[in-house]
Each structure stands twice: as C-alpha cells, then as structure tokens.
Amino acid sequence: MNSLRYDLERSLRQALRDAIATLFQLNLELETISINASDRAEFGDLSCPLLSLAKQLHTKPIEIAEKVQAALPPIPYVAKTTVTAPGYVNFFLDFPALWREVTDRVNTTGGGFWNKTEKVLIEHTSVNPNKAAHTGHLRNAVLGDSLARIYRFAGAPVEVQNYIDDLGVQVADVVTALTLPSADYEDRPQREHYEKPDYFYWDLYTWFNAHTVKVQQEDGSMKDELDPKLETKRKQTMHAIEAGDPDVTAVVDQVATEVVDAHLATMARLGIAYDLLVWESDIIKLKLWEHVFNLLKAKKAVHYRTAGVNQGTWVVEYGDPNQEKEDKILVRSDGSLVYTAKDIAYQMWKFGLVDIDFHYRLWPTQSGLWSTTSDANKATGGHPHQFGRAARVINVIDKRQAYPQEIVYKSLANLGFSEQSANSLHLAYDVVSLSPATAERMGIDTGSGAKSYPMSGRKGIGVKIDDFIDQTIAAVKERTPEVTTEIAEGLAIATIRYYMLSLGADKELTFDIDQALKATGNTGVYIMYSYARAANILAKVSDDIGPTTTMPDELSAIERTLILKLASLDQAIRKSIVQDDPNHLIQYVFELATGFSTFYESTPILKGDPHLRPFRLQLVALYQQTLANAMNCLGIPPLDKI
C-alpha cells in the first residue's frame, strides 16, 4: 500500500539511521528509531529523540542531535530540520507538497501494499446452526468482517468463509429434542408458537439441556449432567447422523438450513456477508479427513498410542513427548474424530494443499453466496470462483481455542508446509459480556449483582443479536425521537460495530449501551455525527468544490495537524493488517474526528477570510472523504444527515 505517512516516517528513519551509522559506526534497526508527533509548533511537526544513544556513545545527547541533524540529506516532504534540548531532531514538513499528495491520494485505495495475486481467506462467525446467534458471537463476526474490508481496501483479493458445523452435538441435541415422544414431554416448546425458527430452536435447545441430574464426581463434588435417558437418546441420534440415516439427516438438514438462513439475515442487518458456506458434513462426505490422515501417517506427523492414558488413540505430539497430557488426540479410541482433526483437513483445503475439492451451489437467500455440496446433482454449473487456494488464512476464533489452533498449524509444518503454517493466523478474541444496566434492559436477571454478564447458549443465558439490535435502535429513538427509522438503524449499527472494535481483540469487552450511545468521546455515534457535520458544511455551499493544490502561505497548528492526520489513513490500514486487529483503525478514526472537531470549533470556515474559504472547504471535503473511507472499512454507514 502506498502509505503517505508510513513512507514519510520510513524515509525519516532511514535518513537518521544512515547518518548515525556514518557518524558513530552504530547500526540501528529502523523499528528502534522513534518518530513522534510534536506537541509544540516550535518543535516542528515530527521529532526524533536521540537521548538513548548518549550512554552508548558517551556523548551529550544535544551534541549527538546536532551532528545527526547536520548530516541529514534532503528528505521528501521535509522543509527544514532543527535541534532542541535535551537531544531532539525536529522535522518541519513541506505542507504544500504534502497537501498536493493528500489531494491526489484521497480517492484511491491502498493497492500496492498487498500483492493482488495473493488471496487472503478469512473464516469468521461460524456459529453452531442449532439456535439464534447471540451477542457473544457478535465480536467474532464484526472483527472478521472489518478485517476483510480493511484487506480489500489495501488491494487484497479476499474470500470470506463461514463454517457450518452441522454434525456437532449442539445440532444433535435439537434433533433429539424434536424426535422425543410428545406424550412423555408435554412441556416441550412448540414450533407454532414462534415466528422465527432460530428462536424456537434456542428455547428447544435450552429446554433439552435443562433436563439434568446430580452426579457425584471422583472428588466427591456434585455436578449437573444430562439425564441418562436423554443422553442415550442423544448418542443414538449422533450414531444415526454418522451412519447417514436418511430420516435423521433430513431433520438435521431442516434445522441447520433454517438456522443458517436466520443467521445470514441477522448478520445482513450489520452489513456482514460471506462468499462461501463450508458445511462439515461435506468435509466428511468428501473424505477429506481420510486423505489428510494418510498424509499425516506417512509423514509420521501423528502417532498411535499403544499404552498409557491415551491408549488406542492417534495423537499429535506437542512439547515433551513423555508428558502425554500435552499430546493432542485427533482420533479417539472408538475411531471418532475430535474437532481439531477436521480443522487440520479444512486448513489444508483452504491453502489448496489437497487434491480434493467440493462441488458448489448458489445459496438462495443471499446474493452471490455459494455453498459447498457433496452432491454433484445439486451443484450449480459454471461457478466463477476458485475457492480456497489462499496465500494467507485468518481464522477468527475465541482465544480459548488457542491450543487446538496451534496443533492445526503445527501439523501443517510437520507435513512440510512451513510457509502455509507461517501464513496461518489465529485472530484470537476474548469474550463479550453485558454491563448490569444493559443486561437488565435486555431482560437478563441481574439479581446476582455481578459486575458483568457473559453469554451461555447451553443454559439459554444470552441476548439474541436481533433483539440486541432492536433494543439499540429503541435506545437511539429514546434519546433522539425525531430521527427517522433509517437514521436510527444506522446509528445503532455504528454503535454496535464500533464498540465491538473499541478494545484490542485480546481484551475482554463489557458492552454498556449508555456508554456506547454517547455522542461525545470514542463512540460510533460521535464518528457519525462528525461525518454528518462535514456533510452539512459542504451542503451549504454552492461552490463546486474540486481538487485544489493551492493553500495559504501560513497554516495554523490545528490545520497542520489535521492535514498530517489525513495523510495517515493508509498507515492505520497497514498497522491493522500487520497486527490483524481493526482496533488500530478505530484509534485512527477517533483521532481524525477529534482533529476535525478542533478545526471546526476554532476556524471560521464559511464566514471567515474569503481568500481562505476555498482551501478550508477543500480541507473539509478531504476530511469527509477520508473519514468515509475509514468508516466503510469498519462497516459503519456514513450518513449525510442525522
């Protein structure tokens, strides 16, 4: 990506590194040379502290700075350099040149940073198809979708996949509950009482798992376990699914299809879409695992245990081979597979490392969405995509799955696919919970007095995403009853998506609706109001605001700061990609909006000096476009009026 701010700072670091090497025979890594925005005009726009070199060179830092400054060559976009105590080299930027470059680049994406032939495959959402999606799933989907948007902005070909675990025990629970004799379970939820199928299955799943009995454990403690009668029924269902019993698989298909369609509709409300649905049942029917298992055995990347606690299993050795607890079982002693086994096969397919492929069919409820199928008769002919075969694979998965993901990537390396292993990324995220006030608003019992309330699908504790969106829209209308439904929905989506990205993915997130809806501070609402403010200014002028390369002889410090921030979008995009976390773009957007707010409040734009009006209007227009680019990367709708 051609990043103006990134390229500028890299040029500064290279010039500083070369000068230091020539003067002091000291070779520094570029990343160790700090470039910071100056907080005072007399210190320039950017500065580099050299104090840390004083101890190494046994020289006063001010003397080091003076020698380095004198040895610097001309640097693009730098007008002059100075030195200030105790040991800083300051850079005053050539703003006319910077301004011309900003106006040239504002409507271009960052193509160039990412090789356009190297596909990025992102798997996200992947909610079990047995019930409605809840707020605990939101962070996954928003993270994955935002990262996909950011990669696309950077010029990368992106493929988004949603993995559908239609063979899991969660689906089996629902299918078992559906097939129980009504006479014995009269309190079972009934389908006709529900408008949405995923809501019905939510209650049915909760009802089924509420049938527990107390079982004493080895340590003497008591634990709730599923009623033995229902456990037997569940196992019968699982065996029937594995055997391909047509009556049972028909029910599985019905449940999974209805729930997947509901999930797609829910995510579409948040602007989230997918390229391909990958069904676990197709992976099994394709015998993808058997193919990969043979490769693993041939490469001695898996080992059969003939004794010990893991006797009869196939494992991946991890860490000390004498510590069997560190081995990861892939195939149980009864021949059944753990999830990680299928994940290894799926990961290899994503990279195009197996000579087996699915058939594909168009999915009817989302435009342009494809689905795997193992049935050639159901395939849609002439699909335009070549799925998989990625250069980089990002799996957005709960951080509690870090160990299984490590096993997947280790297995690729053990098979000789070191490059693909290195290009496999687990985007790990922490859980989402609700604040007490928000939980109470959403109908959760807060009598326990907990500081936050996490979700639990098995216990039926959680807020469905559709209800969450509806409640957020209602909260917007309570605060601003004059807004239209379209605007209220836009503000709600901005509120939810922005808050989900407001902390680094590795940090636990507690959603508080009152905090998230604030019109000031680091919130999605604040960003949307900032965009609308710029749009309102531009709507008041009849002038044709076109690109201009002219600017005043003198700029205020506020204007200089805003222009430099406008030049920094691609740097934020680059950082989000390098660290695979959209939170870096969130930080940039907030700083950009704050800079514009300062400019707006301190600078007469429409009624000031008429000679400055064209430049300032152009600055507003550039701000609006830059912010729109960033908002689109975050999935936040830019609305001209609020």
Residues 482 and 537 occupy one common structural domain = no
The whole-angstrom separation of Cα 585 and Cα 276 is 26
Residues 532 and 588 occupy one common structural domain = yes
In a domain, 203, yes or no: no
Residues 456 and 555 occupy one common structural domain = no
Go through 114-146 and write b for each residue having 16 or more CB atoms within 10 A of its CB, e for each that does not.
Answer: beeeebbbbbbbbbbbbbbbbbbbbbbbbbbbb
Residues 506 and 606 occupy one common structural domain = no
Residue 198: is its pLDDT beyond 50?
yes
Residues 473 and 563 occupy one common structural domain = no
Q: Residue 74's pLDDT band (boundaries 50, 70, 90)?
A: very high
The residues, ordered by sequence, that sit 6+ positions from 493 with a Cβ below 8 Å of its Cβ are: 269, 270, 271, 469, 635, 636, 637
176, two tokens:
């078992």
The residues, ordered by sequence, that sit 6+ positions from 462 with a Cβ below 8 Å of its Cβ are: 134, 135, 136, 455, 456
The whole-angstrom separation of Cα 642 and Cα 125 is 30
Residues 538 and 502 occupy one common structural domain = no
HEC string of 41-97? HHHCCEEEECCCHHHHHCCCHHHHHHHHHHHCCCCCCEEEEEEECCCEEEEEECHHH
Residue 48: is its pLDDT beyond 60?
yes
In a domain, 449, yes or no: yes
Residues 528 and 496 occupy one common structural domain = no
Structure confidence at residue 325 (pLDDT): 46
DSSP strand pairing (276-279 vs 158-164): parallel
Reported for 605-608, long-range contacts at CB under 8 A and 24+ positions apart, including other chains, are 605/537, 606/537, 606/540, 606/541
Instruction: Work out the mean pLDDT of the chain and round it to a whole number.
Output: 91
Over residues 46-61, the mean pLDDT reads 95
Over residues 290-310, the mean pLDDT reads 93
205, two tokens:
């799943």
- The 3-state DSSP class for residue 321 equals coil
> What is the domain range of residue 37?
4-93
Which pTM does this prediction carry?
Answer: 0.92
Go through 182-210 and write b for each residue having 16 or more CB atoms within 10 A of its CB, e for each that does not.
Answer: eeeeeeebeeeeeebbbbbbbbbbbbbbe
Residue 1: is its pLDDT beyond 50?
no
Residues 618 and 531 occupy one common structural domain = yes
Least trusted range by pLDDT, from 32-41, 383-392, 448-457, 518-527: 448-457
Residue 424: is its pLDDT beyond 90?
yes
Tell me which residue has tokens 């100056």: 38
Residue 589: is its pLDDT beyond 90?
yes
Residue 335: is its pLDDT beyond 90?
no
Of 487, 516, 545, which closes a domain? 516
What's the farthest any 2 CA atoms get from each other in the chain? 91
Backbone phi, psi, residue 75, to 5°: -125, 130
Structure confidence at residue 115 (pLDDT): 73
In a domain, 506, yes or no: yes
Residue 542: is its pLDDT beyond 70?
no
Residue 322: is its pLDDT beyond 80?
no
97, two tokens:
């040149």
Nearest to 311 by CA among 301, 319, 303, 322: 303
The residues, ordered by sequence, that sit 6+ positions from 28 with a Cβ below 8 Å of its Cβ are: 17, 20, 21
Least trusted range by pLDDT, from 170-179, 267-276, 372-381: 372-381
In a domain, 552, yes or no: yes
The answer to whether the beta carbons of residues 176 and 198 sit under 8 Å apart is no
Nearest to 123 by CA among 408, 330, 364: 408
Structure confidence at residue 275 (pLDDT): 97
Residue 218: is its pLDDT beyond 90?
no
Specify the DSSP class assigned to residue 545.
Answer: -
The whole-angstrom separation of Cα 172 and Cα 548 is 64
More confident residue, 431 or 352: 352
Residues 475 and 450 occupy one common structural domain = yes
Number of compact structural domains in the chain: 3
Q: Which amino acid is at 108?
A: T
Omega prior to 86 cis, within 30 of 0: yes
The whole-angstrom separation of Cα 465 and Cα 267 is 9
Structure confidence at residue 116 (pLDDT): 78
Structure confidence at residue 113 (pLDDT): 66
Percentage of residues in the chain having pLDDT higher than 70: 95
CATH at residue 615 = 1.10.730.10
The whole-angstrom separation of Cα 211 and Cα 228 is 9
CATH at residue 43 = 3.30.1360.70
The whole-angstrom separation of Cα 361 and Cα 376 is 9
Of 36, 65, 93, which closes a domain? 93
Specify the DSSP class assigned to residue 464.
Answer: B
The continuous run of DSSP H or E covering 588 comes out as helix 583-602
Rg (CA), the chain: 29
Residues 512 and 544 occupy one common structural domain = no
Over residues 508-529, the mean pLDDT reads 91
Structure confidence at residue 76 (pLDDT): 94
Per-residue pLDDT of 100-126, as tens digits, reads 888 887 766 555 567 778 999 999 999
Residue 567: is its pLDDT beyond 90?
yes
In a domain, 114, yes or no: no
Over residues 366-378, the mean pLDDT reads 93
In a domain, 616, yes or no: yes
The answer to whether the beta carbons of residues 44 and 36 sit under 8 Å apart is no
Per-residue pLDDT of 134-148, as tens digits, reads 988 999 999 999 999
The answer to whether the beta carbons of residues 204 and 189 sit under 8 Å apart is yes
Of 93, 118, 142, which closes a domain? 93
Residue 97: is its pLDDT beyond 50?
yes
CA 258 → CA 254, 462, 535, 627, distances in Å? 6, 20, 42, 38
In a domain, 577, yes or no: yes
| Strand segments (E) across 234-388 | 276-279, 303-304, 314-316, 328-331, 359-362, 370-373
Structure confidence at residue 324 (pLDDT): 47
Structure confidence at residue 4 (pLDDT): 86
Residues 83 and 22 occupy one common structural domain = yes
Residues 543 and 501 occupy one common structural domain = no
The answer to whether the beta carbons of residues 293 and 315 sit under 8 Å apart is no
The whole-angstrom separation of Cα 130 and Cα 214 is 26
Over residues 249-277, the mean pLDDT reads 98
Go through 469-502 and write b for each residue having 16 or more CB atoms within 10 A of its CB, e for each that does not.
Answer: bebbbebbbeeeeebeeebbbbbbbbbbbbbbbb
In a domain, 572, yes or no: yes
DSSP strand pairing (46-49 vs 88-93): antiparallel
